[in-house]
Homo-oligomer: A and B are copies of this chain.
Amino acid sequence: MAGGTNRRVLLARRPEGEPLPSDFRLVEEPVPTPGPGQVLLRTLWLSLDPYMRGRMSAGPSYVEPVGIGEVMGGGTVAEVVASENPDLPTGTIVAAYGGWQTHALSDGRGLRRLDPAAAPPSTALGVLGMPGMTAYTGLLTIGAPKPGETLVVAAAAGPVGSLVGQIGKIKGCRVVGIAGGAAKCRFLTDELGFDAAIDHRSADMASLLAAACPDGIDVYFENVGGAVWQAVFPLLNDFARIPVCGLVAHYNDTAVPDGPDRLPGLMRAVLTKRLTLRGFIVTDFAAQAADFRRDVGGWLREGRVKYREDVVEGLENAPEAFIGLLKGRNFGKLLVKVA
């Protein structure tokens, strides 16, 4: 692989609240040359995910922050275009963590070979990748849905929520999705088979949700927080389980919110309703990867699980797309088509 330009999106400064385009900087550098044991990856697809907001801040989170001037991290699907590693010949398609750049070096660790004949490679970033495994492990391990129970999931048209709801249907639950706008709500009921969908932009979201959950809520898959949580909370049944997967409504928060203080009320409900709240990230359940790929891969082939992608063309558009992601502008798994 001789020469060429590596285009990279760096974190220029830490966002205060909502990220701005000027928090990022696009730079061009020479494509690096693989050393012994290394391969050069050309990025085909870059995944954009809400957790990346946490990595842009210096505060404590479950992943180390990206340094100022460093390339933004991110999951990728890539092709080996130069190889000094006999296990990874050129032309191999892999899932990687190559970041927001057109090219990356790798020593092969953490790469997963993909078979483009088995499934479109981009699914390794969505329904068959980190978001899918997040849905599968969090719902089944913590949510433990039982037939006849009511499952509510927010951000339901996104890659995690849409799979949570579809697995809930497979497990025999009544599934209610919450999403932003009529088109996404129609997608949930008409395409994915959800029992009901609530537009969180409705002024009367709380009463619509209550009407859609006549038997209360047994599992709430929390990946939003904010007003959705407030609508869900009074509907929780005794022994309800709440996998806490994300809090995208709060990722741009810059201050402790005003009162009243809802913490004692939450703790009282945890006690009297015997709720289980448990946070997780997908890597906590790494041991379930084979189960996940077997089950969700099978459901996908059988047509019992569907997925939707929202594709943005060109690495230079990644910052704007990411900013929109935090506002719910994407419709389906947000991917940047890089190559």
Contacts and interface: CB of A to CB of B under 8 A. Distances in A.
A284 interface: yes
Given A276-B276, A276-B277, A271 B246 contact: yes
Contacts of A266: 263, 266
A269 B262 CA distance: 15
A225 B257 contact: no
Interface string A262-284: 11111111111111111111001
Please tell me how many copies of the chain the complex holds. 2
A203 to B, nearest CB: 22
A257 to B, nearest CB: 5
Interface string A249-264: 0100100111111111
Contact of A264 (B257, B264, B277): B257
Contact of A277 (B229, B250, B253, B278): B278
A338 interface: no
B263 A273 contact: no
A253 B264 contact: yes
11 contacts: A61-B272, A62-B271, A222-B267, A225-B264, A250-B264, A256-B262, A270-B279, A272-B279, A274-B278, A275-B279, A276-B278
B250 A268 contact: yes
Contacts of A222: 267
Given A250-B268, A268-B247, A268-B250, A274 B263 contact: no
Given A278-B270, A279-B274, A258 B257 contact: no
Interface in A118-153: none
B267 A225 contact: yes
Interface residues of A, number: 41
A331 B281 CA distance: 43
A305 interface: no
Nearest to A238: B62
Interface of A: 54, 60-62, 222, 225, 229, 238, 244-247, 250, 253, 256-281, 284
A280 B276 CA distance: 9
Contact of A245 (B245, B269, B271): B271
Given A274-B279, A277-B277, A257 B247 contact: no
A256 B263 CA distance: 10
Contacts of A262: 256, 261-263
Contacts of A273: 62, 279
A261 B259 contact: yes
Given A247-B267, A267-B225, A272-B279, A258 B256 contact: no
A261 B264 contact: no
B259 A257 contact: yes
Contacts of A268: 247, 250
Contacts of A265: 256
Nearest to A61: B272
A182 to B, nearest CB: 29
B250 A270 contact: no
A256 B261 contact: yes
Contacts of A263: 261-263, 266
A60 B268 CA distance: 10
A267 B250 CA distance: 10
Pick the 5 closest A-B CB pairs, nearest first. A259-B259, A262-B263, A270-B279, A271-B279, A256-B260
